[in-house]
Amino acid sequence: MSLGVVFYSRSNNTRTGAEYIAGKVKAELIELTEANGRKGLGGFIKSGYQAVSGKTSALIGDPWKEADKHSALYLMTPIWGGKTTPAMNAFMQNADFKGKMVTAITFQADEKGAGTKVTYDRIRQIVESSGGTFVGGYALHSAAPGRFAGKEYIEKQLDEKYLSIIKNS
Ligand SMILES: Cc1cc2nc3c(=O)[nH]c(=O)nc-3n(C[C@H](O)[C@H](O)[C@H](O)COP(=O)(O)O)c2cc1C
């Protein structure tokens, strides 16, 4: 099975997790890069508004072509406003998930994973409506907006809440 990790990260938490997973399961890293920046307080406010209203953003390059090569995809994104990010929305909206196994892994400030149940239902709907299989979603804790939780903390959670589960299944 050929694996791809499609990820978006503004403050490096999701990036750190994506790099760790990709190394562990031998997957290609596919980063979603936005055409427009999100720096500072203005960027934060814009981001919250866009996420809450389910907006997409313009992406640079062709992540869809890179993802096409793989039979299984990880979708990794922070949770913003209880939902997926505009970059991940843009990817999912135009992706062809036909025949692919899709797993979502999200990072957020809330330790209890607020919003993820509805978010994973939405991802499942998108994946299944384009012919893919949604394997499941894993909600991980990171840090407050703009903060970095640290490599060790992120990797430990992935070990405990995801990698140990797939190892034993
Ligand atoms: C615009 C914005 C909105 C956010 N909304 C939420 C939220 O609704 N719930 C939550 O738990 N964390 C929220 N966060 C925190 C992020 O999910 C958290 O900081 C995450 O680690 C960011 O990932 P990254 O470092 O890969 O960019 C938000 C962060 C930003 C920037």
Share of the chain above pLDDT 70, in %: 100
In sequence order, the 6+-apart residues with CB closer than 8 A to the CB of 5 are 18, 21, 22, 27, 28, 29, 30, 73, 74, 76
Does the pTM surpass 0.95? The reply is: yes
**Which of 9, 55, 57, 79 maximizes ligand 1 atoms within 8 Å of its Cβ, making it the mutation to test the pocket?**
79
State whether the beta carbon of 9 lies less than 6 angstroms from ligand 1: yes
* Span from the CA of 84 to the centroid of ligand 1 (angstroms): 10
Among candidates 13, 2, 25, which has minimal Cα distance to 166?
A: 25
Confidence of residue 166 (pLDDT cuts 50, 70, 90): confident
Of the candidate CATH numbers 3.30.420.40, 2.40.170.20, 2.60.40.10, 3.40.50.360, the domain formed by 3-167 belongs to 3.40.50.360
At 7, give phi and psi (nearest 5°): -140, 155
Confidence of residue 169 (pLDDT cuts 50, 70, 90): confident
